[in-house]
Amino acid sequence: MVGRLLDSMTLGRKAQRLLMLIILLVLAACTSREVIVEGTFPTPLVDPVPVSVGVLFTQEFKEHELVDDATGRGEVSWRVSTGTAQVEFWSTLFPAFFQNVVFIESYADLQAYDVDAVLIPQVADVQYAIPLYTNVKVYEIWMRYNLALAEPEQIIDEENATISLENMQPFAEWPLTSYGKTPTAFMQSDIDAVNLAAVMALRDAGANFITSFLRVPGVMDWIKNPEEAQ
């Protein structure tokens, strides 16, 4: 349609191409929203759990993003990148929550550090709702994580000298849910509102983690005797 419209105009080939590019860029901007979640995250006020933990952020976790393509007329495509904010948030929370924390990046790290267990958070699902879909003047984000605590030996692949989660058998494994919402009234744009809802969801995930960690089956026994994980 855009091509036919341009053909009807008296324009040179180059000018037509440029105009088409501009029109397509404008149309794309109108129908998609991209949010790279950003925020400042406070250090939690907690009495640290007396254990030594290695934290492993997988590549999927570091690069996590929610992609929702528009399917109907009037809908907008959304791409919400949470990975960087996830890493920043949990990197603030874990060192305050556990007495000793090291971040595991490689097989060599696992060999070098003596930790009681390795904690692996994974994002299982992220969903969102905006006023366009719900008719409620709030922006909402839901997150669901799967967390696992495993002995370091469980994720070592000695043969290939790498980290492998394939055959991991964690001694504690649990889901964690979180929710964040933002009213539209004081926000300036959809993007700001979704960003803030995501930040609120991250904060809620942290609150949920801190208040529920000691009730996770297997965790209390491990804390009492961290040298011998279940």
Place of tokens 């889901």: 175
Do strands 162-163 and 156-157 pair parallel, antiparallel, or not at all (unpaired)?
antiparallel
**Which of 204, 220, 202, 171 lies closest to 49 in space, CA to CA?**
220
CA distances from 109 to 54, 90, 100, 114, 144 (A): 9, 19, 15, 9, 28
Query: Residue 192 CB, nearest distance to another protein (Å)?
Result: 13
Query: Residue 129 CB, nearest distance to another protein (Å)?
Result: 12
Which position among 46, 70, 124, 214 is part of the footprint of another protein (CB under 8 A)? Answer: 46
Query: Residue 179 CB, nearest distance to another protein (Å)?
Result: 8
Which position among 32, 43, 106, 225 is part of the footprint of another protein (CB under 8 A)? Answer: 43
- Stretch 150-189 residues interacting with another protein (CB under 8 A): 181-183, 185-186
Query: Residue 212 CB, nearest distance to another protein (Å)?
Result: 10
How far out from the chain centre does Cα 119 lie? 16
**Which of 203, 199, 205 lies closest to 39 in space, CA to CA?**
199
Task: Look up residue 178 and give its amino acid.
Answer: S
Applying CB under 8 A, does 131 fall inside the site for another protein? no
Which position among 210, 216, 221, 223 is part of the footprint of another protein (CB under 8 A)? Answer: 210
Applying CB under 8 A, does 203 fall inside the site for another protein? yes
Q: Which stretch in 1-9, 11-19, 41-49, 65-73 sits in contact with another protein by CB under 8 A?
A: 41-49
Contact 181, 138 (CB under 8 A): yes
Please say which residue, 211 or 230, places its beta carbon nearer to another protein.
211
CA distances from 57 to 84, 99, 135, 148 (A): 11, 19, 37, 11
Give me 195's structure tokens. Answer: 């960003």
Applying CB under 8 A, does 215 fall inside the site for another protein? no
Applying CB under 8 A, does 132 fall inside the site for another protein? no
Query: Residue 203 CB, nearest distance to another protein (Å)?
Result: 6
Binding residues for another protein (CB under 8 A): 42-47, 136-138, 181-183, 185-186, 200, 203-204, 206-208, 210-211
